[in-house]
Amino acid sequence: MDGEDIALLRELHVSHYRFSLSWPRLLPTGVRADQVNEKGIKFYSEFIDALLRSNITPVVTLHHWDLPQPLQVKYGGWQNVSTADYFSDYANLCFEVFGDRVKHWVTFSDPRTMVEKGYETGYHAPGLKLRGTGLYRAAHHIIKAHAQAWHSYNSTWRGKQQGLVGISLNCDWGEPVDISNPKDVEAAERYLQFCLGWFANPIYAGDYPQVMKDRIGRKSAEQGLDTSRLPAFSLQEKRYVKGTSDFLGLGHFTTRYITERNYPSRQGPSYQNDRDLVELVDPNWPDLGSQWLYSVPWGFRRLLNFAQTQYGDPPIYVTENGASQKSHCTQLCDEWRIHYLKGYTNEMLKAIKDGVNIKGYTAWSLLDKFEWEKGYSDRYGFYYVEFNNRNKPRYPKASAQYYTKIITANGFPNPREVESWRLKALETCSINNQVLAAEPLLSHMQMVTEILVPTVCTLCVLIAAVLLMLLLRGQS
């Protein structure tokens, strides 16, 4: 992010911007006592100041999956409870140096995916496949780390800084395949508890969901284990963790139909085995070209209402919601994303009318960017980034203009005007597409110029030197 990108935020008319600090960038070894990277502090401090000068509120995430490597090598990362202490020290550093200006803190972003892909499937760093054990242990320590950071802020910083500390949890909605079948209804509830309740229930109620404790405990016993693979909180820890969130951050992208399927315990421990369910999609749902993301707006409203009733009407900030590009499309006229935005924001507005205490909404994302194991192929941005160009130029997609209209109107005024937004956005993007289409030629001309001009200059100097030598020789 630079000044140009802050200008894009102003162009969108957003009120706030959510970004993540990099723990290894600020503390290269992960340990505050070892070394603090002052250049990293300076970079983020200047960025926060630039946002505030543009009247954009910074919403800052402390940890979005990038654990300092020395903590992984030396201690085993989130498999070791000591990592929670190091995280608390890191959080305190951030509160100390940025907290005078940052009033909205997110401790962890989507920790469920972090532990599932990092310690169960091995798709993400650290790439471990500790099936049915590693992810529960990592999650247990992350929940403790979150609670420690919240208590640190509450006891040391809240009085003078007056900020808020929460956590951001991602979950799709789970709808029963057959609403009249009690087993499907139970399976859908179980899906939500293993997804959202896994982290939210300890924070709001002091312990893991009962269905997780029962299922994992029973299957662990059937697998010949003396204790459950799901770690237990002590009574003191339950009291310590409960109530450690000033708001609930909620990330949501799509919906699944859920039906029950019993997996035999003899198949061995795994997260999938523990849940005893199957996720399905409706072939009629709009396919956005991604393997997992379908546009199902009504699921968003149901998830928001579920969170409200389940966790005692917490203030909710929607921290992630968006759609990636259709297959490998590089067109800027992303009409399908406009439909997605319209549908999902409208369902959120309905949830507000239902009484859900929604405080803010953040779309994912401003720019096309690195998307973990998908690399740069999945493009979620309002602005297209030409990664093959050294300068990484940004081009607004149609959805950027449409989103600006939603922000300015704070919703949808009337169908005719909303339709005019769509038509105008598509008209503008057609012009931008022509500019983007010319980009390879412009880049090639720039490259040729960068090579040709120095080469010609060098030849001129050489020719001048030869002529001078000949002239001097002739005079002698």
What are the residues facing 18 on neighbouring strands? 59
pLDDT digits (tens, 9 = 90+) for 170-220: 999 999 999 999 999 999 999 999 999 999 999 999 999 999 999 999 999
Please give the angle made by the CA atoms of 302, 321 and 111, to the nearest 5 degrees: 90
For residue 374, count other CB atoms closer than 10 A to its CB.
12
Annotated catalytic residue 320: yes
| Distance between CA atoms of residues 249 and 356, nearest Å | 13
Q: What is the pTM of this model?
A: 0.91
Region 267-293: mean pLDDT is: 92
Structure tokens, 390: 């050294």
446 contacts 391 by C-beta, under 8 angstroms? no
pLDDT band at 388; cut points 50, 70, 90: confident
Q: What percent of the chain has pLDDT over 90?
A: 82
Dihedral angle computed from the Cα positions of residues 48, 49, 52 and 54, in that order, rounded to the nearest 10 degrees: -110
pLDDT band, very low/low/confident/very high, at 401 (cuts 50, 70, 90): very high
- Measured from the Cβ of residue 237, the count of other Cβ atoms closer than 10 Å reads 18
Burial of 387 (0-12, 13-18, 19+ CB in 10 A): middle
According to DSSP, the β-strands at 277-280 and 255-260 are antiparallel
How far is 298 from 467, CA to CA, in rounded Å?
79
User: Mean pLDDT over all residues of the chain?
Assistant: 93
Give residue 378's pLDDT.
85
Question: In angstroms, what CA-CA distances link 418 with 10, 254, 353, 429?
Answer: 22, 23, 20, 17
Question: What confidence score (pLDDT) does residue 329 get?
Answer: 59
Tokens of 56: 């954009």
Instruction: Let me know: does 157 contact 163? Beta carbons within 8 Å.
Output: yes
Instruction: Please state, in angstroms and rounded to a whole number, the distance separating the CA atoms of residues 153 and 166.
Output: 11
Q: Exposed (0-12), middle (13-18) or buried (19+): which is 299, by Cβ within 10 Å? A: buried
- The answer for residues whose C-beta is within 8 angstroms of residue 396's C-beta and 6 or more apart is 8, 11, 332, 382, 383, 384, 428, 429, 432
CA distance 271 to 172: 16
Report pLDDT digits (tens) over 133-179. 999 999 999 999 999 999 999 999 999 999 999 999 999 999 999 99
Where does the pLDDT of residue 451 fall: very low under 50, low under 70, confident under 90, or very high at 90 and above? low
Closest CA to 78 of 219, 211, 231: 231
C-alpha–C-alpha distance, residues 150 and 167, integer Å: 10
CB atoms within 10 A of CB 111: 27
pLDDT at 342 over 70: yes
Tens digit of each residue's pLDDT (9 = 90 or more) over 38-56 = 999 999 999 999 999 999 9
Q: Mind listing the pLDDT tens digit for each residue in 222-246?
A: 999 999 999 999 999 999 999 999 9
Positions of E strands within 336-476: 358-361, 383-385, 394-396
- Cis ω for the linkage preceding 234 (within 30 of 0): no
For residue 165, the surrounding DSSP H or E stretch is: strand 164-170
Kindly name the residue from 116, 260, 320, 347 that is annotated as catalytic. Answer: 320
Enumerate residues 6+ apart whose C-beta is below 8 A from 286.
Answer: 294, 295, 336, 339, 340
pLDDT at 85: 98
CB 326 within 8 A of CB 196: no
Residue 459: predicted pLDDT: 74
pLDDT category of residue 447 using cuts at 50, 70 and 90: low
User: pLDDT-derived band of residue 376, with 50, 70 and 90 as boundaries?
Assistant: confident
Cα gap 91→94, rounded to integer Å: 5
Of residues 199 and 325, more confidently modeled:
199
Q: Which of 132, 112, 136, 116 is nearest to 124 (CA)?
A: 116
Residue showing tokens 């030629």: 441
CA distances from 383 to 8, 30, 43, 322, 364 (A): 9, 33, 23, 13, 11
Q: Please, is 43 exposed, middle or buried when counting C-beta atoms within 10 Å of its C-beta (0-12, 13-18, 19+)?
A: middle
